């Protein structure tokens, strides 16, 4: 790990702390919509630029205060289970987990609501799972209505259900806004599908339901969740039949794969294959292909570019990266062995492969990394993990099917019993309270450095200059409410981050004696946030000379920024139509 890692973690923590302070300042001023938007921005940064913590009590507190401002709704119940998703996609494991949950728990009505739907229709499989159980899709106002209005509608909707299951994205503040201040409500289970990174929502999770033991460990030790409020639930499975020989032959014919080929298959989002410093999955699979001219590697998720394109050229086309595919049934039928994505597993895809009868093998050269980023199946011993390249080659040469072990571990009866225990625990414990949550530690532990490497080392995160701009915008929003006019309605764009709609030409401040440092800090935040084109310090002509030392000291104390000092007895004369008046004091 590079020596700079600890400093980088500390830098990320300082950024999140700064935005958290800005959010709290907005909440203190009663600007709860703005405060909530800043919490969402901070959480989105923290999820992909690990700050050495997995939860943040200040962000929780801001959302709880905003939640307390919403109208009370009496809990009625009676409609079964409500699944709350931030977004829903036909491709990928997140939405698939939700609809499989609904199907396995289908003895009671299963409904769902997508709070920030992406353009396009609702995934048919999700809608069908709800309909088969007697449930339906519900809707709440979208992003244009604002976070508080959407949260209020979600609170009202949830009051008619007996159980709420959260499948929210890590940076989604809506569940906390809807439920944090509610004491009379349905039990809430939080589906911990992003168990390895920072997320919001611990303050409303009556039970945090993970799918790996490491999820429960991190919830207790790094998120401050009481042990009695965690549960481990196997991933719910579809009823996938084993592939018969005729289907395999037909699939290979459709795909143009020779009958004698030995097909290795791996599936996962492209970023799951991006190792930060060497150790790419291709490094250990290319020698396997070199030793066996009949071997072919199919990779679903990565695009045929970069290392994947080079590997295809090196093997005369025996490495095929397909990009994202909506259906991998033919590829599963055609394959001989499934190799888990690395360094991040794609647990749902691996389980599907095992169900078809494929042997599954994981490449896990680092035990700590495998514990944090590997699959529940490998951790439970449902299929083997290789620590060395030689061991991986041996496992691939004589793989053993994992179907029986997977079906036993994920048996529907076992899954339903475990879910029932989690629901009972949530009901008996009652709504979680902030006082029951421990202060989550900030650390520079192995898991923190792994996440730093994973996101920053691979570039799968927001660029530093973008994060710096968001942080500056947060500081400006807290200090100068008028800059809200620069942003889109609700402050947040489709990416759920702060999004500008315009900027001022000039930001003008007229500091009195002793106010120079505050004035410079505010102009710095406004300019670095892209909220104005020019920063202007207006001073009476007789104060210019005496104020200069304080202005220079303030400029030297922070990041470099250019300001114009304008001598004038009338600062108001500088406030033309496109200018912003910046108060020099709170």
pLDDT at residue 277, rounded to an integer = 64
| pLDDT digit string, tens, across residues 351-389 | 889 999 999 999 988 888 888 888 888 878 889 999 999
pLDDT at residue 367, rounded to an integer = 85
> What is the residue whose two structure tokens read 């992909």?
48
Task: Give bridge partners of residue 298 from the DSSP assignment.
Answer: 265, 320
Contacts 24+ apart (CB under 8 A), 15-19: 15/45, 15/49, 15/51, 15/467, 15/468, 15/471, 16/42, 16/45, 16/46, 16/51, 16/53, 16/56, 17/58, 18/471, 18/474, 18/475, 19/45, 19/470, 19/471, 19/474
DSSP string covering 452-471: HIIIIITT-S--HHHHHHHH
| pLDDT digit string, tens, across residues 19-52 | 999 999 999 999 999 999 999 999 999 999 999 9
- Counting as low any pLDDT under 70, the low residues of the chain are 1-7, 92, 276-278, 457, 586
Domains of the chain: 75-236+416-436 (3.40.50.2000), 245-409 (3.40.50.2000)
| Lookup: tokens for 404 | 């029986």
Q: How is the chain split among helix, strand and coil, in percent rounded to 5?
A: 45, 15, 40
| Lookup: tokens for 346 | 């794609």
């Amino acid at each position: 790990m590079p020596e700079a890692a600890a400093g980088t973690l500390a830098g990320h923590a300082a950024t999140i702390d700064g935005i958290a302070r800005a959010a709290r300042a907005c909440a203190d001023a009663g600007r709860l919509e703005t405060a909530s938007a800043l919490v969402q921005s901070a959480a989105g940064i923290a999820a992909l630029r690990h700050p050495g913590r997995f939860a943040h009590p200040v962000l929780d507190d801001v959302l709880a205060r905003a939640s307390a401002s919403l109208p009370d709704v009496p809990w009625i119940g009676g409609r079964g289970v409500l699944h709350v998703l931030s977004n829903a996609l036909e491709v990928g494991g997140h939405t698939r987990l939700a609809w499989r949950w609904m199907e396995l728990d289908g003895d009671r009505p299963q409904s769902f609501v997508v709070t920030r739907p992406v353009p396009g229709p609702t995934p048919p499989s999700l809608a069908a799972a709800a309909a088969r159980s007697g449930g339906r899709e519900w809707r709440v106002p979208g992003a244009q209505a604002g976070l508080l209005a959407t949260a209020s509608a979600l609170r009202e909707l949830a009051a008619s259900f007996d159980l709420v299951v959260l499948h929210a994205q890590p940076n989604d503040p809506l569940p906390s806004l809807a439920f944090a201040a509610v004491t009379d409500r349905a039990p809430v289970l939080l589906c911990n599908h992003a168990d390895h990174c920072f997320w919001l929502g611990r303050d409303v999770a009556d039970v945090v339901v993970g799918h790996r033991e490491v999820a429960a460990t991190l919830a207790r030790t790094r998120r401050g969740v009481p042990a009695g409020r965690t549960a481990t639930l196997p991933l719910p499975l579809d009823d996938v039949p084993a592939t018969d020989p005729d289907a395999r032959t037909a699939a290979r014919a459709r795909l143009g794969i020779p009958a004698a080929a030995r097909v290795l298959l791996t599936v996962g989002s492209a970023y799951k294959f991006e190792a930060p410093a060497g150790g790419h999955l291709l490094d250990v699979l290319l020698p396997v292909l070199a030793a066996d001219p009949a071997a072919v590697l199919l990779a679903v998720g990565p695009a045929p570019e970069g290392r994947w394109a080079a590997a295809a050229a090196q093997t005369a086309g025996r490495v095929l990266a397909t990009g994202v595919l909506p259906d991998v049934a033919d590829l599963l039928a055609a394959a001989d062995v499934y190799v888990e994505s690395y360094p991040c597993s794609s647990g749902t895809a691996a389980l599907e492969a095992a169900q078809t009868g494929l042997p599954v093998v994981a490449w896990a050269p680092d035990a700590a990394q495998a514990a944090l980023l590997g699959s529940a199946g490998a951790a439970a011993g449902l299929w083997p993990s290789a620590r060395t390249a030689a061991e991986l080659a041996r496992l691939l040469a004589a793989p053993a099917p994992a179907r029986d072990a997977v079906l036993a571990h994920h048996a529907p009866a076992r899954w339903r019993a475990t879910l029932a225990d989690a629901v009972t625990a949530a009901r008996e414990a009652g709504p979680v309270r902030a006082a029951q949550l421990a202060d989550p530690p900030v650390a520079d532990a192995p898991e923190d450095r792994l996440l730093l490497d994973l996101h920053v080392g691979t570039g799968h995160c927001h660029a530093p200059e973008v994060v710096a701009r968001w942080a500056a915008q947060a500081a400006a929003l807290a200090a100068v409410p008028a800059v809200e006019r620069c942003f889109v309605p609700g402050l947040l764009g489709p990416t759920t981050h702060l999004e500008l709609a315009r900027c001022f030409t000039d930001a003008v401040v007229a500091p009195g004696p002793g106010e120079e440092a505050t004035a410079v800090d505010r102009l710095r935040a406004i300019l670095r946030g892209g909220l104005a084109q020019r920063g202007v310090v207006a001073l009476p002509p007789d104060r210019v000379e005496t104020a200069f030392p304080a202005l220079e000291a303030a400029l030297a104390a922070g990041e470099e920024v250019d300001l114009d000092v304008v001598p004038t007895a009338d600062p108001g004369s500088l406030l033309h139509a496109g200018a912003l008046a910046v108060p020099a004091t709170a």
